[in-house]
Structure 1
């Protein structure tokens, strides 16, 4: 039996290098289309996994990795190649992800990872980061005043929720490591 949600996640992971190439070489229309497909597939695979009762350990691991590859690569290329997203925001996004990965590793070593679940601020942060990339790509395609205003608000907002989310996960992780 084919696991449809996992198959969708694999396709999203395969889209990431194509997205990075389109972004790197300045083909912002293709990058926007690929990003929209990847973002929609993220929503669809999670919904289907629950609906079809096809949640697997492979999907639980692969889904956030595909998301991080998409989000982090977009932030890096848009910050350091195209100089659009402020570098401080990219540093915050990647630092939070590194904290979460290291924390997950530590919790795995101490056999406590199964006690950590995604939290609302974490999901909101991912949504905010997706929106930031989406509106940045829209701005690159349709450069208009309103998109610029939106980004002036969105960059610090996304930075703030990213920091709050990172701190929240660190606090939860420390509590779990200290519990029996």
Structure 2
């Protein structure tokens, strides 16, 4: 059995889970998420817990078992607490400003970079060098944060660029003269 897949998911107070065959809908205080899963994986709700089971031990079913359970757990956590990724801008003149619901980044290019607002994502700024990307969909939060980081990924010689707050940049030594 999958170690992740066999663990039941506890549904907290204020969160409702509706299972319609392979479609799962989760509603909570922060919003609502829906997702369709493989119809071979059975999803049941019993006594305030969601249980995910697989029909057989083929490699495909084993991989889908743990993945399905993890995705449902992330949906429940997202509508209850939400997810956050924090980005830091490191470099002289690198800064961020709010523009409506979007962002304007100055990252050393000849032009400012505009980040358009995305449905389900909110940006919170701490000063002019920290960005908090918040939302209820874990995959969307991670993708938006990765897209912002890709605008100027941190380089290993001076450490300049956009990095995650918990990311460690391995520094390289420059050329010897």
- After TM superposition, the score normalised by the length of structure 2 is 0.26
Q: Which has the higher contact order (CA 8 A, sep 6+)?
A: 1
Higher share of residues assigned strand: 2
- After TM superposition, the score normalised by the length of structure 1 is 0.26
Higher share of residues assigned helix: 1
